[in-house]
Each structure stands twice: as C-alpha cells, then as structure tokens.
Amino acid sequence: RLGQGGHAYLQEWLWWAGLLCMGVGEAANFAAYAFAPATLVTPLGALSVLVSAVLSSTFLHEQLNVHGKIGCILSILGSTVMVIHAPQEEEVSSLESMAEKLKDPGFIVFAVCVLVSSLLLIFVAGPRYGQSNVLVYVLVCSAIGSLSVSCVKGLGIALKELFSGKPVLKEPLGWVLLVCLVICISIQINYLNKALDIFNTSVVTPIYYVLFTTAVMMCSAILFKEWQHMVLDNIIGTISGFLTIVSGIFLLHAFRDMPFTPDLLPLFL
C-alpha cells in the first residue's frame, strides 16, 4: 500500500486511466492559467468537486443529502462572487518580465519557506505523524502546489511566445520552469496518493482544496502583485466568495454519511 511506502498502484490500469483523465482536465486548467489570474482560476476548481459529487450520486449511487445539495449551491454562489470581484493581475507578457518577478525578494523568501517547510514535513513530521494526522501530507501537496502553479503560469507565457514566433526554445528559463513543474507534480501525486490511501477521501478532498487554494492565492499575490491595485469592495468580495466556497465544500463532505429525513426538522418547519 502507498500509505506504507509501496507503489503497487502503478501496476493498475484503472489508476493510469484515472491519471490520464486528470491529465486532460489539467491541460485545460493549464490553458486557463495562461490567460487569467491564478487567484481566479484556482478557486474555481471547486466546481470539479461539485461535478464529482453529482456524478458519484448518479453513477455510484452515493448519497447526496440536503447538506450536500446546499453545499453545492453555496460553492456555485461563491464561485460567481469570486468571478465578479476577481483581481486584475499585473501584466506579464514575456519570459523576461517573468524572470524579473521570480527574482523579487518577496517571492524568493516565500519559495525558500515553502521548500524548507516541505522538507521538514516529509523527513521529520512524515515518519512520526503521517499515519495519524491528515495535515502532514496534505500540507506538502498544498505548499508544493503553489510553486507548480507559478511554473504553469510561466510555461503558459512561454507557449504564447512560441506560437507568436519568438525563439523561446533558446531561453533557459522555460526549460527550468518545465523541470521544476515535473518535480513539483511528481511530489504532489506521490503525497496526495499517500494521504488518500491512509485517510478517507471525504476528509482529504476538502482540506486539500482549502489549503491548496490558500497557498496559491498567497503565492500569486506575492509573485504577480494581484492585490495591490484592488479596491476595498473587490477585496471583500474575493475573500467572501472564497469563504463561501469553503463553507459549501465543508457541508458537502462533512455530512456526506449523515442520514437526513424530514423527521429531523423542527415541528414549525
């Protein structure tokens, strides 16, 4: 089992089929990061959680009670609010400007903190608490995921330049971002599978979504300065939309196995 350090799932065709389907979805997600702020794209990933819940209820006959349906509605409303108040990121149109942002002291400090904390979680906290605390492996995935989104953003810019006829293949930054992306995604897949093997999916999914989205929003705000030019109502709207999505995801997963009948309602309802 992966939770015990094994990788037997690599021999299962069903796992590879699922990974391929996820790859197709992430390719579309990759395209979205190239044209929109990460603070907008990442929270909208909550819609995939809703689709999974609806498909599970339809094809796998899993229970979707009243709490789950309310959670779906809240997540859709929160996503709508975030789209309306989404930040307009500072324009980054070339690899040169991306390189300048990667050299920013604020982002360097953030990246170093992410790497150090991830190493501590993997080599210190993992052997001790990985089997009993869901936060250990999920925090590794979320922290490394924030860096992978930055790599995706840079590669999206490189692809746009490549299609416009610029000699991007000669730029070392593009290849560095590609290598870093492969490493980050490999770490994410490994430790997310460990977390899913040890703990219930209904526990891992909402915690991972919240931590990953928070880490990406922090990284994007530091790297692209998305929040500097936002007015107060847009900041409040973005945060409120995100918290509404979090509330919806919590309702969808926390009460999934709880039976709910009209008898549980108060008499006046």
Tens of pLDDT along 166-213? 877 788 888 899 999 999 989 998 898 888 888 877 678 778 888 888
Residue 116 in domain: yes
Q: Are residues 109 and 150 in the same domain?
A: yes
Residue 173, domain member (yes or no): yes
Q: Are residues 246 and 192 in the same domain?
A: no
- Decide if 142 contacts 135 (C-beta within 8 A): no
Task: Evaluate whether residue 236 is within a structural domain.
Answer: yes
Write out the chain's pLDDT in tens, 269 residues.
Answer: 665 666 777 788 888 898 898 888 878 877 787 777 777 787 777 777 777 777 777 777 767 777 778 888 888 888 888 888 877 665 677 778 888 888 889 899 999 999 999 999 999 998 888 888 888 999 999 999 889 888 888 888 888 888 887 877 788 888 899 999 999 989 998 898 888 888 877 678 778 888 888 888 888 888 887 777 778 888 888 889 888 888 888 887 777 767 666 666 666 55
Residue 32 parent element (H or E)? helix 13-35
State the total domains in the chain: 2
Q: 96 and 50: one domain? A: no
State whether 121 and 223 are in the same domain: yes
Give the integer Cα–Cα distance in Å for 199 and 94.
Answer: 42
Answer yes or no: do 107 and 125 share one domain.
yes
Is 203 part of a structural domain of the chain? yes
Regarding whether 249 and 223 lie in a shared domain, the answer is: no
Determine, yes or no, domain membership for 23: no
> Which range marks the domain in which residue 184 is found?
92-229
Within-domain flag for 4? no
Taking CA atoms, 228 is separated from 89, 107, 154, 195, 213, in Å, by 9, 15, 21, 36, 19
Reported residue count of the chain is 269
Residue 207 vs residues 141, 196, 257: alpha-carbon distances, Å:
11, 12, 17
Smallest Cα–Cα separation from 143: which of 188, 99, 105?
188
DSSP string computed for 7-26: -GGGG-HHHHHHHHHHHHHH
User: What pLDDT shows up at residue 3?
Assistant: 54
Contact at 8 Å (CB) between 135 and 207? yes
Taking the whole predicted model, whether its pTM rises above 0.95 is answered as no
Q: 132 and 96 share a domain?
A: yes
**99 and 200 share one domain:** yes
